[in-house]
Amino acid sequence: METYLRMADLPYQNYFDGKLSPQGKMPWIEYNQEKVSGTEFIIDFLEEKLGVNLNKNLGPHERAVSRAVTKMVEEHFYWTLAYCQWVDNLHETQKMLSLSGPFSDLLKWILCHLTKGIVKREMYGHGIGRFSEEEIYMLMEKDMRSLAGLLGDKKYIMGPKFSTLDATVFGHLAQAMWTLPGTRPERLIKGELINLAMYCERIRRKFWPEWHHDDDNTIYESEESSEGSKTHTPLPDFSFYSRTETFDDEGAENSISRTPDTDFTGHSLFDSDVDMDDYTDHEQCK
């Protein structure tokens, strides 16, 4: 939900008190003493009250595809990630929790194992939890491959402009990118499905400029590389790139610094403001 608010350029304030909606769910928002819960209902509410519409450039067919993919991500892919985070990778998840105090380790252990039990129960009720671990990961991989195929070499899922679907997809893929170290989804997104990793980086740079992760020099594996000789491409430090595309140095407007991670205009290939169509046309003319 937070990614949607940033994409819509709406001011907001987070509250981390563990409070749930009357339906016992998250996310929820409060606007002028009016509370709304559930992602879809929140988006409809904001569109009605504030005139926000991230899907204004989508036609009827694209809107239908967007809704179908959103439901795949929210109602299916979500549970496979929850399994990886809170069941199969619980030890690493426990390390990531930030609690202070003399009993912080014990509290983290209790919180993680309580959450694990809740997730397993909810997954069983959903139905996906009745499958084996290998089957759950197989379903996860199919969802991720579907997203990678739909994205292709486009800037955003539905084309050159971001939409509500991108907020949903990023919110889920970000977990595989940055909160599940050493797991199967992380290896997949940073290896074979590299276009999803690049997609996540573009969105992170554009809408979360203050977010600098410890693993900014992530190593990606080339899909064509053999197991014995893999080519590695380190991701450059994001702080070197500007969101504003302005130059402070004298004479910079007449000189373009090109690196292996920039296109023919000097833009970073990870930058969400790169015009992918222009880049493709330029490469075809070379």
Mean pLDDT per 10-residue segment, the chain (286 residues) = 85 74 77 85 88 92 96 96 94 85 88 93 96 97 97 95 95 93 94 96 90 54 39 34 30 35 43 44 47
d(CA 41, CA 22): 14
d(CA 174, CA 172): 5
Please tell me the predicted confidence (pLDDT) of residue 240. 25
- DSSP assignment of 141-199 equals HHHHHHHHHHHTT-SBTTBSS--HHHHHHHHHHHHHHHTSTTSHHHHHHTTTTHHHHHH
Domains within the chain, CATH numbers bracketed: 1-53 (no CATH), 54-208 (1.20.1050.10)
Please tell me the predicted confidence (pLDDT) of residue 20. 72
237 secondary structure, DSSP code: P
The pTM assigned to this predicted structure is 0.72
Question: Phi and psi at residue 244, in whole multiples of 5°?
Answer: -90, -10
Please tell me the predicted confidence (pLDDT) of residue 171. 93
Contact 12, 5 (CB under 8 A): yes
d(CA 239, CA 205): 9
Residue 31: CB atoms within 10 Å: 14
Please tell me the predicted confidence (pLDDT) of residue 12. 82
Please tell me the predicted confidence (pLDDT) of residue 18. 66
Please tell me the predicted confidence (pLDDT) of residue 16. 65
